[in-house]
Amino acid sequence: MTPTLPFLLATATQRLGQKLGISPWVHIDQVQVNVFGEVTRWRTPGHCDPEHGKTTQYGGTLLHGFHAISLITHFYKNSGLWPEDGKDPLNYGLDKVRILKPMVVGDGVRLRSHISLLDAQPKSGGDMLLKTQHDIEAEGLEGFAVYAEYLTYWHAA
């Protein structure tokens, strides 16, 4: 979903509480889950062994919750929400984060983020600290699978 209005740091405070957009879908397969497990040193059977996953109450391996969370910047940028008057964003961290539902990988799982603006704190020189809400949807699951509040420090362009 492309936002209807350009997203600008200069007018961010006027968009507080608004839904900004919905990201395109991202497909995650077992290979990506295994790579994430290797990189994070959390290659456990529940995530990375499909045969083991079939024996669990979920019927398959689960996407790492941190894998879904790590896609927030991808969702943000691919939603067309990079402020046109901002540059060189810095990950400033996360506030409240919850993994609400297990996401079964199976033949692959598709995720997308519903993005809203929670806060915009002006900083010196036109810089801005933004807090966006990410309600991450997993195709086939009712409701959202992940809730995260993401902080980004933006420099004025």
Q: How far is CA 131 from CA 28, 35, 41, 42, 85, in A?
A: 26, 29, 29, 29, 17
Chain-centre distance for alpha carbon 19: 15
The 3-state DSSP class for residue 65 equals helix
% of the chain residues with pLDDT over 90: 93
**Given a cut of 70, is residue 2 above it in pLDDT?**
no
Query: Would you say 139 and 109 are in contact if contact means Cβ atoms under 8 Å apart?
Result: yes
Measured CA to CA, the distance from residue 77 to residue 72 in angstroms comes to 9
Domains and CATH numbers, the chain: 12-156 (3.10.129.10)
**Going along the chain, which residue ranges are E strands?**
19-22, 26-28, 86-99, 109-122, 128-138, 146-156
Instruction: Indicate if the pLDDT at residue 25 is higher than 80.
Output: yes
Indicate if the pLDDT at residue 4 is higher than 70. no
* 3 state SS of 95: strand
| 52-109 per-position pLDDT tens digit | 999 999 999 999 999 999 999 999 999 988 999 999 999 999 999 999 999 999 999 9
pTM greater than 0.75 (yes/no): yes
Q: How far apart are CA 53 and CA 66, in angstroms?
A: 18
Q: Report the pLDDT averaged over residues 15-24.
A: 95
Indicate the Cα dihedral angle 49, 52, 55, 58, nearest 10°: -30
What's the pLDDT at 6? 85
CA-based nearest residue to 62, from 72, 77, 50: 50
* pLDDT tens digits along 107-146: 999 999 999 999 999 999 999 999 999 999 999 999 999 9
Region class of 143: left (phi > 0), else alpha (psi between -120 and 50), else beta: left
